[in-house]
Amino acid sequence: MIRGFLRNVQVMDDDKFRLILDRLGLSWQGYVKVRKGVKRRIVRHMQELGCHTVEDYIGVFGEPRILREVECLMTVSISHFFRDYSLWRVLCEEILPDIIYRSRDVVHVWSAGCALGQEVYSFAILWDRLRGKIGVLPERQILATDVHPAYLDKAMKGIYGKSGMKGITEEMKATFFVLSENLSHYRVADFLKANIEWQIHDLVKQPPPARVFQVVFLRNNLLTYYREEIQEAVCLQIMNCLERGGCLIIGSHEKLPFQTHALLPFKKSSYIFQKI
């Protein structure tokens, strides 16, 4: 029965896939390298809904529940701990010591599009290590948001298979993770999860959280997968919730969709910007 239905589903070639991207305001360039996996998810969803053509599929996007499902299927969770190592070195040696000096009580950090949580826990590990270098630190509060509920649930649990521990040293494993009894996976230590708030949030459809941040991570999501006109509107909103002197961090292969005197490259970096 399933095989017969599959034969009736329209082949998802690139032109048909681009119709979906156009409808959602997404960037073809951003999806070129990951499109095969995304296409498979979309075809399965079409089967579940009984849509035989992409046009039929787009036609049901008017139902909010279905549109939300489609938007979640389009999300990409590729990441690993301490991705772009040079960024974390600069954070540890230059950016965070200055922010800590200026922020006596609390430092607010936002991981916008946190996926499976590696970026969030990387920051928490870095912060803990700074304690050994600097001594008494302000309280750190991390807001971790993502549009995909399943990703957020996995991130909150903080459980990673051995193949998902890329970027974590043996010393870090011993200090910040607990190995399962069957030796198949690692769980983030409970103390590292303190003061992390997990929240479902749609960067494109919802305004930024009503608070001020010293550090905002906006890496490998909005500026990769959305069209420039959407990027600009959202980035301007995010810039407004960044504290003066605070840093906006984007992906190492990304660029801002506009030029502004309010954000300056941090020491000529192409992906770290400081609000003046």
Which of 186, 210, 212, 194 is CA-nearest to residue 127? 194
Is this structure's pTM higher than 0.95? no
In a 10 Å sphere around its CB, with 0-12 CB exposed, 13-18 middle and 19+ buried, how is residue 188 labelled?
A: buried
Rg (CA), the chain: 20
Q: What does the mean pLDDT of the chain come to?
A: 93
My answer on whether 173 and 38 are in the same domain is no
Residue 131, domain member (yes or no): yes
Please state, in angstroms and rounded to a whole number, the distance separating the CA atoms of residues 6 and 150.
26
CB 106 within 8 A of CB 139: yes
Range of the domain at 53: 2-73
Number of structural domains the chain divides into: 2
**Total residues belonging to the chain:** 276
* pLDDT, tens only, 43-76: 999 999 999 999 999 999 999 999 999 999 999 9
Task: Tell me if 78 is assigned to some domain.
Answer: no
With beta carbons less than 8 A apart as the criterion, state whether 90 and 269 touch: yes
Does 80 fall in a domain? Answer: no
Q: Judge if 161 and 222 occupy the same domain.
A: yes
- Does residue 101 share a domain with residue 22? no
Check whether residue 104 and residue 7 sit in a common domain. Answer: no
Per-residue pLDDT at 9 exceeds 80: no
The gap between the terminal CA atoms of the chain, to the nearest Å, is 62
User: In the 8-state DSSP scheme, what is residue 162?
Assistant: G
pLDDT attached to residue 5: 40
Quick: pLDDT tens for 130-158: 988 888 899 999 999 999 999 999 999 99
Which of the four pLDDT bands, split at 50, 70 and 90, describes residue 3?
very low
The arithmetic mean of pLDDT across residues 112-131, rounded, is 96
Q: Are 125 and 146 contained in the same domain? A: yes
Using pLDDT thresholds of 50, 70 and 90, give the confidence band for residue 4: very low
